């Protein structure tokens, strides 16, 4: 029985900056809990009781947000890489904590893969490693995984040419591993498990399980982060969060002050204040203690804790970081990101896909 997971959480989340300039991506909130919290909940539902977190960038923030894991029913152990060592190098660094069989996961995806089925397949085939695979509409942008009829991996194709595409399966960053795989990894080096270890296991115990129809989302960009928030709110991805919404798809904290109109699905967190005539939603999150001015219009967006949005401001499919200020009548374009503590002056139009960062004094 597999009860342990190793989760790689060392990335810097550069494509989500400035939201991730001060906090690592795994603890960025996705609706009501850190992104990694959703992953831990999913693991717990499949019988995982402990996890080793391989940390790098701003590791102290991960520890601060997740603690010992009690909120998710998983005991957490933290391993701090002294420098980036790649996916296999991080696993090697954590080897003193590993069971004889364990899950290995990239810590930057939202998913509902059937881990129980993948673990059963691993047991049935006697595999050394079993890759979780998902199908994609456009395989040309990914590394493909080719399987034999019995599920054994017969090869990999990186960024295939059109004539090389004979499958739509890619790796979901979710692996069942025997501890013997760790012996293949040199110590104290930067090593990729996908490019340098798995190819050595082809025809030597490497299998794949296709999770067709499963939800899979890498939240590495503003667009995909917003998509992930929407999918949690709508229930496209089954989570504990979605179960807290009412029949109208709204969760409004009892101590929030709401004078405007809320259209679900939407999440209004504790202490939020929404002014007269403001229109919030759908697919919108207003974080704890955020203040939304009278007549503001916010849809398909996330306003994180402590931020303020002025009277008459308009946000569509955009992100506002914690403690940021958006001035009255400002317009924030689609996929624009206003970073933590940044200030957008009244009446400013922030163009599509722009990034607004705070200066050293917390002002733009």
Q: How many CB atoms lie within 10 A of CB 124?
A: 11
The Cα–Cα gap between 145 and 166 comes to 10
CA of 200: how far to CAs of 114, 153, 154, 184, 238, in Å?
Answer: 26, 11, 11, 9, 36
CA of 116: how far to CAs of 157, 171, 180, in Å?
Answer: 27, 17, 22
Q: Which of 25, 58, 92, 159 is catalytic?
A: 159
Following DSSP, what letter does each residue of 44-58 receive, concatenated?
A: HHTT--EEEEEE-TT
Contact status, residue 251 vs residue 235, Cβ threshold 8 Å: no
Query: Which residues fall within 8 angstroms of residue 181, CB to CB, at 6 or more apart?
Result: 128, 129, 197, 201
Query: Which residues fall within 8 angstroms of residue 117, CB to CB, at 6 or more apart?
Result: 209, 211
Query: Which residues fall within 8 angstroms of residue 183, CB to CB, at 6 or more apart?
Result: none
Mapping DSSP to helix (H, G, I), strand (E, B) and coil, where does residue 219 land?
coil
Cis omega (within 30 of 0) on the bond before 15? no
End-to-end CA distance of the chain: 53
Contact status, residue 283 vs residue 229, Cβ threshold 8 Å: yes
Contact status, residue 358 vs residue 337, Cβ threshold 8 Å: no
- Whether 58 is catalytic is no
Active site residues per annotation: 159
């Amino acid at each position: 029985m597999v009860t342990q997971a190793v989760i790689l959480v060392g990335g810097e989340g550069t494509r989500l900056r400035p939201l991730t300039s001060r906090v690592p991506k795994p603890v960025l909130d996705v609706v009501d809990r850190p992104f990694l919290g959703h992953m831990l909940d999913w693991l717990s539902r499949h019988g995982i009781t402990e996890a080793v977190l391989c940390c790098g960038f701003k590791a102290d923030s991960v520890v601060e947000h997740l603690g010992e894991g009690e909120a998710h029913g998983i005991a957490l152990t933290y391993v701090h890489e002294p420098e980036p060592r790649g996916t296999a190098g991080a696993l090697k660094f954590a080897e003193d904590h590993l069971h004889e069989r364990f899950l290995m996961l990239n810590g930057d995806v939202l998913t509902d893969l059937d881990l129980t089925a993948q673990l059963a397949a691993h047991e049935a085939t006697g595999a050394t490693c079993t890759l979780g695979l998902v199908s994609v509409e456009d395989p040309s942008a990914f590394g493909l995984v080719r399987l034999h009829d019995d599920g054994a991996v017969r090869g990999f194709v990186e960024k295939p040419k059109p004539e090389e595409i004979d499958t739509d399966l890619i790796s979901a960053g979710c692996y069942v591993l025997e501890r013997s795989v760790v012996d293949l990894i040199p110590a104290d080096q930067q090593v990729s498990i996908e490019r340098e270890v798995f190819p050595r296991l082809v025809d030597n115990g490497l299998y794949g399980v296709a999770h067709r129809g499963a939800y899979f989302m890498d939240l590495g960009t503003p667009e995909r982060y917003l998509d992930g928030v929407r999918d949690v709110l709508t229930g496209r991805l089954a989570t504990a969060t979605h179960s807290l919404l009412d029949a109208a798809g709204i969760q409004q904290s009892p101590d929030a002050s709401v004078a405007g109109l809320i259209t679900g699905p939407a999440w209004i967190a504790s202490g939020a204040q929404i002014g007269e005539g403001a229109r919030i939603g759908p697919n919108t999150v207003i974080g704890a203690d955020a203040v939304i001015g009278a007549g503001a219009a916010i849809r398909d967006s996330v306003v994180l804790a402590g931020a303020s949005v002025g009277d008459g401001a308009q946000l569509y499919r955009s992100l506002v970081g914690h403690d940021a200020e958006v001035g009255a009548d400002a317009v924030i374009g689609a996929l624009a990101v206003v970073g933590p503590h940044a200030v957008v002056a009244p009446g400013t139009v922030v163009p599509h896909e722009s990034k607004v960062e705070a200066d050293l004094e917390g002002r733009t």
